Structure 1
Amino acid sequence: MGAGLLLSLDVAAAVLRVGPGEAFKRIADAAKAAKDGDVIEILSGEYRGDVTVWPQKKLTIRGMGERPVLIANGKIARGKAIWVIANGDIQIDNIEFRGARAADHNGAAIRLERGRLEVRNSVFIDNQNGILTANFPDAELFIRDSLFAQAPRQEQSLPHLLYVGRIARLEVSGSRFHQGYRGHLIKSRARHTDIRYNLIYDGPAGEASYEIDLPNGGLAFIIGNIVGQSANTQNPVVISYGAERHAWPESALYLSHNTLVSERLTGTWFLRSWSKRLPPNAEIVGINNITAGIGAFTLASSGAFRGNVPLPPGGLLDPETLDFRPRGADLLRHVTEPAGSARGVSLVPDAEFVLPIGTRPLAPPSSWLPGALQGEH
């Protein structure tokens, strides 16, 4: 987009407000009226059955004050989602989405068809898919400081908290995923996936399959996350890489400073990769990760592993209260290795997840702990 066009969009931008006493009572009406570059402000309250398509090329949509709650209430736009993003550069901030259902059992809170979507400070509860994308190779999705939870207990198809198709890029940070059912917490077919500083922990009420599934490989960086499987998991794999065919030609997986947890009493694969379905030069690197529970980390994946620490059940302070710091921290500081970088990307964490949602900056300590948490709580 040229500089002149961007300038004209900024000059012409209007603020459209939705809510009681405002010009627009319904979000769908504001969506029809909005022009490229406008800002949509949605006041606090519940918006039931107010589903819509956003066709604009550039738009900012934000909730004002206490987060507005969008409840599908049996409605769905284009048979796909509460909101459908057609093909634009869209920013969404401080919105809650609940109850998306579709006739094909694959409804989403947000369906990204094409374009660039950035979601911040938002909540996705009880949707067949939290966010679902199409497969356009130039699409990009960025998720910051958001919550995905409570997959519906449906049997007709697999509900995923986040399902990303074969797009260019996915980035997820500072976000929390829990209480899946049969499907995965995060599934990404993106060419480039960057997941860092999140709490991806299914919890005692969860029954998800994989916690992170990268079925087509791709270039993936998983850094500084707490990733946990429940005792009632539907699959004994926490992170899966390359399980399906049609892998991206450039495929490599880098896991650094993650805390991987399993509460499955009969054992688990903390990481499983399918080398025969990946390109022959696919690189897998694991550095300074903690595995806590009964299971194996490196046995089902060939690669370069160093500084990783297996802890037995009870090796973390108190997962029931979401305290995932390791016991014996002073001893563990002696086993870490320099994380370094890969493909020009640092594998050293510069932040960590903080409850309830979000991150805090992380200054390099005098000596590193393995796992996702370095700071005092």
Structure 2
Amino acid sequence: MNHPSSTAFDTQAPLNAERRQRLLQLGGGLLMASPLTWAAPDKPAPAAASSTANPVIKVGRQQAVKTLAAAAKLARDGSVIEVDAGDYPADVAVWPQSQLSLRAVGGRVRMLANGAAAQGKGIFVMSGDAVSIEGFDFIGARVPDTNGAGIRLERGSLSVKDCSFSRCEMGLLTNNDPNTQLDLQGCEFSFGERPGSFSHLLYAGNIAKLSVTGCYFHHGMRGHLIKSRAALNHIFYNRLTDEIGGSASYELEFPNGGQALVIGNLIQQSSGSDNSHMVSFGAEGYTWPKQELQMIHNTLVDLMPTQGVYLRVKPGPAKVRLINNLLAGNRNLKTESAWEQAGNHLIDLDEFVLAMRENYALRPNSHLRGKAVDPGAALGMALRPTRQYQHPRSTMALPQPARHPGAIQLP
């Protein structure tokens, strides 16, 4: 069953020819600038620099500025906001500034919604360019229209590193601005809470680019772990596992197609899933100039008591490549003749070291070790992984490019 979303962002305006061409040109430029190892979580991105006109703003109980809400009113383009570790209940804020950096200092900064919401949308509402956030936990966002988000990204470009989102109606939610870019590194999304509807842990709207690297998504509630309408998607080295008690719908969905590179991910469907499909592409119709799904070196684990569906692709102009994937727990992969496939293996759970403990590395004596084929290149980059997901929410470098099928190369 394919559940329609009830969020305010599911209705997409048609794209005119000029807008489509501009987005296509933007997507091509972004791809050429993004190698497969780009922005790994253990390679910190440079923080936005402060200027002499905008010194560091320190926030905390012992500081002159006590709240994030107050800091947001003081901040200017280029400000650095350093926030002392601790709990900040009902401290919600709107951040329109660009070249802004928010950093936790001395430990975690816990943003507890406690019924408050900025502009009726979420804990933080962001709309600037070149904004970065690091070390924050967003907890319990709820609003009257039930789209309450830990972060609501209206427009601009945002980098989120080492942050978590839990017990929110929507973990992180974007608007539909076609120039927006969102980059997530080493983040955790869990335990969606939206009774009576669908709680997406990450929902990217009609934006230019979504990048997700080294992140951990788990325990969804009816909605999807990741839902993205972006023109370009880089989903590299993540763990998307609904796990015991989870009831997510899709683990990964691209409802309007676009270009999607899905490389080196561990994707698990729980026995309590609300939808038999794990990955879906184009279910709501293709709206972007190019439609391409590359699934390379992923491990997909189906734990439903009756057979689930690893991949659903809407008939149409989409190019689909499935290379070096492991598909476990279900011996059936429904495919189309036009899809390019090589090095994929349908296996039983006992092919892993210890599946019941979620150790999905191949057994040391597995006949599949060393059987990966060359996945080639696509969209301007080589596709053979050089890293793998490291739990929890990071990546690790491989001593050599991936040799085994699946996402897990090292124990």
2:406 corresponds to: 371
Distance in 2 (alpha carbons) for counterparts of 1:301 and 1:96: 45
Instruction: Pick the aligned partner of 2:224 from 184, 189, 214.
Output: 184
Q: What stretches of structure 1 move > 6 A for 4+ residues in a row? A: none
- 1:28 counterpart = 2:64: no
Matched, 1:78 2:137: no
Q: What SS is found at the alignment partner of 1:12?
A: coil
Matching of residues 189-208 of structure 1 within 5 Å: 189-208=229-248
- Aligned partners of 2:146 and 2:194 also within 8 Å: no
Tell me, yes or no, if structure 1 residue 146 matches structure 2 residue 193.
no
| 3-state SS of 1:333 partner | coil
* Alignment of structure 1 residues 257-268 onto 2, 5 Å: 257-268=297-308
Q: What is the Cα deviation at residue 247 of structure 1?
A: 2.6
CA 1:333/1:174 → structure 2, altered by over 3 Å: closer, same or farther? same
Q: Are 1:110 and 2:146 counterparts? A: no
SS of alignment partner, residue 115 of structure 2: coil
Contact 1:271 1:300 (8 Å CA) reproduced? no
After TM superposition, the structure 1 = structure 2 runs for residues 166-177 of structure 1, keeping only pairs within 5 Å, are 166-177=206-217
- Whole-Å separation in 1 of the counterparts to 2:225 and 2:336: 21
Counterpart of 1:223?
263
* Contact 2:98–2:128 (CA under 8 A) maintained in structure 1: yes
Query: Do the aligned residues in 2 keep the contact of 1:273 with 1:301 (CA within 8 Å)?
Result: no
Structure 2 CA distance for partners of 1:257 and 1:187, relative to 1, 3 Å: same
Moved more, 322-331 or 105-114: 322-331
TM-score normalized with structure 2 length:
0.85
Alpha-carbon offset, residue 10 of structure 1: 3.2
**In structure 2, how many angstroms separate the alpha carbons of the residues matched to 1:295 and 1:269?**
10
On the 8 A contact 2:85/2:108 being kept in 1, the answer is yes
Q: CA deviation at 1:148?
A: 0.4
Aligned counterpart, 1:68: 109
Residues 287-330 of structure 1, C-alpha deviations (whole Å, 9 max, x = no match): 00000111533436841010001112333222343311123654
State the distance in 1 between where 2:321 and 2:383 align.
Answer: 10
Partner Cα distance (1:201, 1:295) in 2: 19
CA-based RMSD of the aligned residues comes to 1.7
Within 2, Cα distance between the matches of 1:347 and 1:264?
30
8 A contact 2:130–2:157 mirrored in 1? yes
**Cα distance, 1:9 vs. partner?**
6.2
Q: Secondary structure at the match of 1:272?
A: strand
Which amino acid in 2 is paired with 1:213? Answer: E
Task: State the Cα deviation string for residues 169-216 of structure 1 (Å, max 9, x = none).
Answer: 000011100000110000000000000101111101110000000000
Please name the residue that 1:304 is paired with.
340
Q: Evaluate the alpha carbon distance shift between residue 301 and residue 15 of structure 1 in structure 2; reply closer, same or farther with a 3 A threshold.
A: farther
Task: State the identity as a percent.
Answer: 40
Distance 1:295 1:160, change over 3 A: farther
User: Does structure 2 retain, via aligned residues, the 8 Å contact 1:109–1:130?
Assistant: yes
SS of the residue 2:108 aligns to: coil
Following superposition, the deviation at residue 158 of structure 1 comes to 1.0
Cα distance change of structure 1 residues 64 and 259 upon mapping to structure 2, 3 Å threshold: same
Q: Which of 306, 311, 315 is matched with 1:271 structurally?
A: 311
- 1:136 aligned residue: 177
Checking the alignment, whether the CA contact within 8 Å between 1:274 and 1:301 is kept in structure 2 is no
Q: Which of residues 243, 261, 284 is equivalent to 1:244?
A: 284
Q: 1:211 to 1:295 in 2, by over 3 A?
A: farther
Aligned equivalents of 2:228, 2:204: Cα separation in 1: 5
Letter in 1 for 2:230: A
Secondary structure of the residue aligned to 1:160 is: coil
TM-aligned CA distance change 1:132 to 1:153, over 3 Å: closer
Unmatched runs of 5 consecutive residues or more in structure 2: 1-47
User: 2:81 corresponds to which residue?
Assistant: 40
The equivalent of 1:292 in structure 2 is 328
The answer for the alignment partner of 1:18 in structure 2 is: 59
Whether the 8 Å CA contact 1:272–1:301 is kept in 2: the answer is no
1:353 and 2:389 are equivalent in the alignment: yes
Cα distance in structure 2, aligned partners of 1:183 and 1:301: 30
C-alpha displacement of 1:8: 10
- Amino acid in structure 1 at the alignment position of 2:408: L
Q: Superposed, which structure 2 residues align to 1:307-326 within 5 Å? A: 307-326=343-362
- 1:28 alignment partner, SS class: helix
Contact 2:167 / 2:192 at 8 angstroms: preserved in 1?
A: yes
Structure-2 change in CA distance of 1:8 and 1:200 (3 Å): closer
SS at match of 1:220: strand
Amino acid at match of 1:297: L
Secondary structure of residue in 1 paired with 2:51? helix
